[in-house]
């Protein structure tokens, strides 16, 4: 058979497979809908008639495979048709208006949105010469995500398109293989994971892994194959025992076994420096039942058959993952002394676990964006990230780079789940703090947060949260962001919000100063910056109003720190001494030795004494120390006494290393919330 005839036969076979797959997932499909698919195929075949792929195959093979993937996920007819036509506008003579006229507006819109997407050339971020190309690529990615806010099927079509392209990536040039594979691992596979589409995520990761690291992938596959037969036989015995016990209990089940996919094994081995024999969930069993109650009944039976490993049980049915994933996970010690992970779920949960957000078309859920984003929290983040940059100048490289960094920040981070006081689940990147939580709830809540209760105990804003923490934010109308917050926040996007806050605040202060200068005639001011010394008794001060360079030190009587309102006093023979403006030791009358000064930076640490008065009780002193330690503050010296004249009252003094006035205020506010504390203040 000639090669052309073989390819023709292959495309005909694929189209028959497409129709069979559609009918399998939608037995009630109408003749009109079937005709729409046939018409889409005929146009795609005609449009790509003279085009070939790098493999030598007719181009039509690609859209057919994309459509089949979409059909397997149970997507609707318009989406499958758009999959067949997704390259028509970009690569052929047919335009959007033609597709709208011949088919419908929905299909035309989907095809147009997918057409806008081009590759994100990550390598070019390091090359200034390629900034314009990279910027254009990032903008195309943003436009795709923006289109997906209105219709998430845009991303789903692109994921199916990427999956088939990765299966034939070996025909690309080496530098393209590397770039495209990195793009898949950095962008497309994480997006699939955020949308709960684990089947596509796993396939994309394995294909990219094998393309990038062929030697490592082959070595790992060989290690798995060495024990594959014996492992599968062993799992068959476990499955047989389990199936029998479940049937005795009246629970009908489908039991599958699986070995973890290659890239996931590779990641775990590298991250935890383990051998393949040390991976707990390398081998696993999946139990699929009809009802939710059967899931918990099956779990009880499993735990009577084999001992569960402590700390390895997770209930994602009661507490689903943000992408909608539901299942029970437990790890048992098998008869051979090695652990086996067992997952238990219903058939619908299994479909959700495989196809994620796409499964909502299969089960005919309400498919508007509002209902989907309530089930898939990442869609809310997607909307925030894309809309934040919608009105910004897309020709600015820094804006494009910032958008991409924030997107990657959300895609690559491991997640933790914490609770609000009303038991709502909030998803955060691992390593997030109380401040990240506050801003995730609402920007204004973040800007006015003062402290928090974590698991009903007072905690500073810098507290790092853990899985399962319950967090309640304490606000105050006078609370405002501090520069030190930037050290406590995990999310780059939230850091940018705080930087924007300070930028606007600085602009307002400049405008205010200009107005004051216009109202009051002043002599010309000359600013002299004095660089901070490495000696912590030196202060980073900007002196205003004199063309001279003299020693600058801060007064021991009031111990000013950055953030305090300050003034300089020219002393005889000792240079300029910096006081707080409310210092009691300053002369009461104005004279020409006062000089305007302001803080230049936040690079130094200052020793400040804090005094606490509290009703004495057992454990009080330890609580005070722990509160200070949680603010990541170094204690230089600490004393405590029980004055005779104040029965039952303790006075404690701590000499602390302080970076900024807001840092000090955070410590004082946290101390005031400790049970028994009557007063916490700065000691002069």
Dist CA 560 CA 580 (whole Å): 6
H helices of 51-103, in order, are 61-72, 77-85, 88-91, 96-102
Which residue segment(s) compose the domain that 586 sits in? 523-599
* Claim to verify: residue 649 and residue 590 sit in the same structural domain: no
Is 479 among the domain residues?
yes
Q: Domains in the chain: how many in total?
A: 5
* Claim to verify: residue 41 and residue 67 sit in the same structural domain: yes
The whole model's pTM is what?
0.64
Residue position matching structure tokens 């360079």:
549
* Claim to verify: residue 142 and residue 10 sit in the same structural domain: yes
Is 515 among the domain residues?
no
Contact residues for 459 (Cβ-Cβ < 8 A; gap 6+): 434, 451, 452, 453, 630
Is 401 among the domain residues?
no
Which residues share a beta bridge with 518? none
Dist CA 16 CA 225 (whole Å): 35
Is 297 among the domain residues?
yes
**Three-state secondary structure of 123-189:** HHHHCHHHHHHHHHHHHHHHHHHHHHHHCCHHHHHHHHHHHHHHHCHHHCCHHHHHHHHHHHHHHHH
Q: pLDDT at position 476, please?
A: 84
Q: pLDDT at position 118, please?
A: 42
Options 20, 42, 90, 679, the catalytic residue: 90
Residue 73: closest CA among 357, 321, 378, 344: 357
Q: What is the DSSP letter of 185?
A: I
User: What are the tokens at 490?
Assistant: 């995990």
Tell me the CA distances in angstroms from 419 to 119, 243, 454, one per residue in order.
38, 37, 10
Q: What is the DSSP letter of 357?
A: G
Contact residues for 573 (Cβ-Cβ < 8 A; gap 6+): none
User: What are the tokens at 482?
Assistant: 């501090």
What tens digit of pLDDT does each residue of 38-97 get? Answer: 999 999 999 888 888 888 888 999 999 999 999 998 888 999 999 999 988 876 788 888
* Claim to verify: residue 255 and residue 117 sit in the same structural domain: no
Domain of 255, CATH number, reads: 3.30.460.10
Is 384 among the domain residues?
no
3-state secondary structure of 2: coil
42-77 burial: b if 16+ Cβ within 10 Å, else e: ebbbebbeeeeeeeebbbbbbbbbbbbbbbbbbbbb
Q: pLDDT at position 74, please?
A: 85
Dist CA 465 CA 404 (whole Å): 26
Catalytic status, residue 91: yes
Contact residues for 261 (Cβ-Cβ < 8 A; gap 6+): 202, 205, 206
H helices of 520-639, in order, are 620-630
Is 389 among the domain residues?
no
Q: What is the DSSP letter of 463?
A: P
Is 73 among the domain residues?
yes
Sites in the chain below the pLDDT cut of 50: 1-3, 118-130, 366, 369, 394-395, 520-536, 538-539, 545-547
Q: Are 580 and 565 in contact (CB under 8 A)?
A: yes
* Claim to verify: residue 295 and residue 332 sit in the same structural domain: yes
Residue 399: closest CA among 385, 381, 410: 385
Residue 41: closest CA among 25, 64, 62: 64
Q: What are phi and psi of 425, to 5 degrees?
A: -90, 130
Which residues share a beta bridge with 562? 564
* Claim to verify: residue 58 and residue 186 sit in the same structural domain: yes
* Claim to verify: residue 61 and residue 206 sit in the same structural domain: yes
User: What are the tokens at 247?
Assistant: 């049937």
User: What are the tokens at 675?
Assistant: 């049970």
The sign of the CA dihedral 340, 345, 350, 353 is negative
Dist CA 339 CA 359 (whole Å): 31
Which among 599, 628, 647 is the end of a domain? 599
Dist CA 326 CA 289 (whole Å): 13
Q: pLDDT at position 541, please?
A: 63
Counts for the chain of helices (H) and strands (E), in that order = 27, 21
Residue 461: closest CA among 682, 423, 377, 480: 480
3-state secondary structure of 231: helix
User: What are the tokens at 283?
Assistant: 């081998």
Options 20, 42, 91, 506, the catalytic residue: 91
Domain of 420, CATH number, reads: 3.10.20.30
| Number of Cβ atoms within 10 Å of the Cβ of 463 | 22
* Claim to verify: residue 111 and residue 258 sit in the same structural domain: no
Which among 362, 393, 421 is the end of a domain? 362
* Claim to verify: residue 586 and residue 641 sit in the same structural domain: no
Q: pLDDT at position 142, please?
A: 67
* Claim to verify: residue 592 and residue 645 sit in the same structural domain: no
* Claim to verify: residue 71 and residue 91 sit in the same structural domain: yes
The sign of the CA dihedral 514, 516, 520, 522 is negative
Is 514 among the domain residues?
no
Helices 105-115 and 153-167 cross at an angle (nearest 10°) of 50
Domain of 9, CATH number, reads: 1.10.3210.10
Q: What is the DSSP letter of 532?
A: P
What tens digit of pLDDT does each residue of 458-509 get? Answer: 888 888 898 778 899 988 888 888 878 888 888 877 887 888 887 777 777 6
Dist CA 91 CA 289 (whole Å): 46
Domain of 652, CATH number, reads: 3.30.70.260
* Claim to verify: residue 208 and residue 272 sit in the same structural domain: no
Dist CA 67 CA 63 (whole Å): 6
Dist CA 188 CA 196 (whole Å): 12
Q: pLDDT at position 367, please?
A: 55
């Amino acid at each position: 058979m000639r090669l052309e005839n073989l390819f023709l036969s292959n495309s005909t076979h694929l189209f028959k497979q497409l129709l069979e797959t559609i009918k399998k997932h939608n037995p009630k499909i109408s003749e009109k809908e079937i005709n729409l698919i046939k018409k889409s195929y005929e146009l795609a075949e005609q449009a790509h008639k003279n085009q070939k792929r790098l493999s030598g195959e007719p181009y039509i093979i690609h859209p057919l495979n994309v459509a089949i993937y979409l059909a397997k996920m149970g997507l609707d007819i318009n989406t499958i048709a758009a999959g067949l036509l997704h390259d028509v506008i970009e690569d052929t003579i047919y335009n959007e208006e033609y597709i709208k006229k011949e088919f419908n507006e929905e299909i035309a819109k989907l095809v147009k949105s997918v057409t806008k997407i081009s590759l994100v050339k990550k390598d070019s971020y390091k090359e200034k010469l390629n900034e314009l190309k990279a910027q254009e690529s990032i903008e195309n990615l943003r436009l795709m995500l923006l289109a997906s806010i209105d219709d998430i099927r845009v991303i789903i079509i692109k994921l199916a398109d990427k999956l088939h392209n990765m299966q034939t990536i070996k025909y690309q040039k080496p530098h393209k293989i590397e770039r495209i594979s990195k793009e898949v691992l950095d962008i497309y596979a994480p997006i699939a994971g955020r949308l709960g589409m684990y089947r596509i995520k796993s396939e994309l990761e394995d294909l990219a892994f094998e393309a990038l690291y062929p030697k490592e992938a082959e070595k790992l596959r060989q290690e798995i194959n060495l024990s594959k037969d014996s492992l599968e036989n062993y799992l068959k015995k476990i499955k047989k025992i389990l199936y029998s016990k479940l049937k005795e209990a009246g629970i009908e089940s489908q039991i599958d076994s699986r070995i973890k996919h290659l890239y996931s094994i590779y990641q775990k081995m590298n991250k935890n420096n383990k051998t393949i024999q040390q991976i707990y969930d390398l081998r696993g069993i999946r139990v699929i039942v009809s009802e939710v109650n059967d899931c918990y009944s099956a779990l009880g039976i499993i735990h009577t058959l084999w001992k569960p490993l402590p700390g390895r049980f997770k209930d994602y049915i009661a507490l689903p993952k943000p992408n909608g994933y539901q299942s029970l996970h437990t790890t048992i010690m098998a008869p051979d002394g090695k652990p086996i992970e067992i997952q238990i779920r219903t058939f619908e949960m299994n479909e959700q676990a495989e196809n994620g957000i796409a499964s909502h078309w299969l089960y005919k859920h309400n498919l508007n964006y509002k209902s989907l984003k309530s089930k898939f929290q990442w869609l809310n983040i997607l909307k925030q990230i894309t809309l934040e940059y919608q009105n910004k100048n897309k020709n600015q490289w820094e804006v494009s780079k910032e958008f991409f960094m924030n997107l990657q920040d959300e895609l690559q981070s491991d997640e933790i789940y914490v609770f609000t006081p009303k038991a709502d689940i909030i998803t955060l990147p691992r390593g997030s703090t109380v401040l990240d939580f506050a801003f995730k709830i609402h920007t204004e809540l973040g800007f006015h947060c003062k402290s928090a209760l974590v698991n009903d105990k007072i905690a500073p804003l810098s507290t790092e949260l853990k899985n399962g923490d319950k967090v309640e934010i304490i606000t105050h109308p006078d609370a405002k962001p501090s520069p030190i917050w930037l050290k406590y926040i995990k999310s780059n996007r939230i850091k940018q919000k705080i930087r924007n806050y300070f930028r606007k605040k600085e602009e307002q202060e400049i405008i205010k100063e200009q107005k004051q200068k216009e109202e009051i005639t002043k002599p010309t001011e000359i600013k002299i910056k004095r660089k901070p010394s490495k000696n912590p008794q030196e202060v980073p001060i900007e002196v205003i109003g004199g063309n001279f360079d003299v020693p600058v030190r801060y007064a021991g009587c009031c111990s000013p720190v950055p953030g305090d309102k300050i003034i300089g006093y020219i002393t005889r023979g000792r240079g300029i001494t910096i006081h707080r403006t409310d210092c009691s030791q300053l002369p009461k009358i104005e004279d020409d030795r006062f000089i305007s000064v302001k803080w230049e930076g936040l690079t130094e640490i200052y020793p400040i004494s804090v005094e606490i008065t509290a009703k004495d009780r057992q454990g009080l002193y330890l609580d005070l120390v722990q509160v200070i330690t949680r603010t990541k503050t170094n204690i230089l010296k600490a004393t405590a006494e029980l004055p005779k004249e104040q029965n039952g009252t303790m006075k404690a003094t701590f000499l602390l290393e302080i970076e900024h006035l807001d840092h000090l205020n955070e410590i004082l506010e946290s101390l005031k919330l400790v049970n028994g504390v009557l007063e916490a203040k700065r000691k002069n």
